[in-house]
Homo-oligomer: A and B are copies of this chain.
Amino acid sequence: MCQLLGMNCNVPTDIVFSFTGFAMRGGRTDTHHDGWGIAFFEGAGVRHFVDHQAAVESPVAELIKRYPIKSKNVIAHIRKATQGHVALENCHPFVRELWGRYWVFAHNGDLKEFAPTLNGPYRPVGSTDSEKAFCFLLQELRNRFGDTPPALSLLRAALKELVAAVAVHGTFNLMLSDGSALFVHCSTKLHYVVRQHPFVTASLSDEDVSVDFSQVTTPEDRVAIIVTEPLTTNEKWTAFAPGEFNVFVDGMSIQER
């Protein structure tokens, strides 16, 4: 199994604090040492970093911890290989383009006997079930909506249905973003916290690091952090229910109407 980390905000925010704790699980406080990756949306563009080395040993992870890249949507992943060998092409997150937007996808879990018909333009490059599922989701979105991106409510409804169809094949904790929204599905384990005014001091559970968010934010800032296991010891994390599908926009969970 793997671990996932996502961030969705109303203003571009750096993920240095959360990533510092998360990266410790890539070989130090946990055993996810078969590669890692992170993708940051910046405007319409994406910065995409993947490495087949353990996150705790990777010079690229070291850069991420020191270089405060500001983003409204980030997805990160540390891998413990279950399907697909340890290789760069099997590192999450994966990136593809649909409707003139980049889409970023990462998955934690294991899909059994999942062999969707891929007859559209998206084909896996690597050998993971995860990339296959990502190609399937984009193919089906394109089949449903053609060349025109739908409104968020329609997109959410379509993705919820498609994700549920894939999730019957196994564990499908996932994060997906097109740069404006962060779509999250929980099969087994995911937690989130929304950081907003009044901000507190948070302390990482995986490393001896604290940050007083009130010193580095404005009262209008809002940041949702979604992660497999809570990252801090003194914040109130909410667990996703198994089967829950949620969408984060501007640092807030959009409740289904």
| A88 and B46 contact, CB distance less than 8 A | yes
A-side interface size class: 35 or more
Q: Among B48, B63, B100, point to the contact of A59 (Cβ < 8 A).
A: B63
Residues of B contacting A98 with CB < 8 Å? Answer: 121
Q: Which of A83-114 contact B (CB under 8 A)?
A: 87-91, 95-102
**A48 vs B91: C-alpha distance in the bound complex, in angstroms?**
13
Residues of B contacting A88 with CB < 8 Å? Answer: 42-47
Stretch from A23-31, A73-81, A123-131, A239-247 contacting the other chain: A123-131
Q: Is A145 an interface residue (CB 8 A)?
A: no
**A48 vs B48: C-alpha distance in the bound complex, in angstroms?**
6
| B91 and A45 contact, CB distance less than 8 A | yes
Q: Is A122 an interface residue (CB 8 A)?
A: yes
| B100 and A44 contact, CB distance less than 8 A | no
| B96 and A125 contact, CB distance less than 8 A | no
Residues of B contacting A63 with CB < 8 Å? Answer: 59-60, 63
Q: Among B60, B90, B101, B123, point to the contact of A100 (Cβ < 8 A).
A: B123
Closest chain-B Cβ to A155's Cβ sits at a distance in Å of: 17
Q: Is A156 an interface residue (CB 8 A)?
A: no
Q: Is A170 an interface residue (CB 8 A)?
A: no
Name which residue of chain B comes closest to A91, CB basis.
B45
Q: Which of A1-58 contact B (CB under 8 A)?
A: 42-52
Q: Given the interface contacts A59-B66, A63-B63, A67-B59, does A125 sit within 8 Å of B44 by beta carbon?
A: yes
| B50 and A47 contact, CB distance less than 8 A | yes
Known: A47-B49, A96-B97, A121-B142. 18 other contacts (CB 8 A): A42-B88, A43-B87, A43-B89, A44-B87, A44-B89, A45-B50, A45-B88, A45-B91, A45-B126, A46-B88, A47-B51, A48-B48, A59-B67, A63-B63, A97-B122, A98-B121, A100-B125, A102-B125
Q: List 19 A-B contacts (CB under 8 A).
A: A42-B88, A44-B87, A44-B89, A44-B125, A44-B126, A45-B89, A45-B90, A45-B126, A46-B89, A47-B50, A59-B66, A60-B67, A63-B63, A97-B122, A97-B123, A102-B125, A120-B121, A121-B121, A121-B122
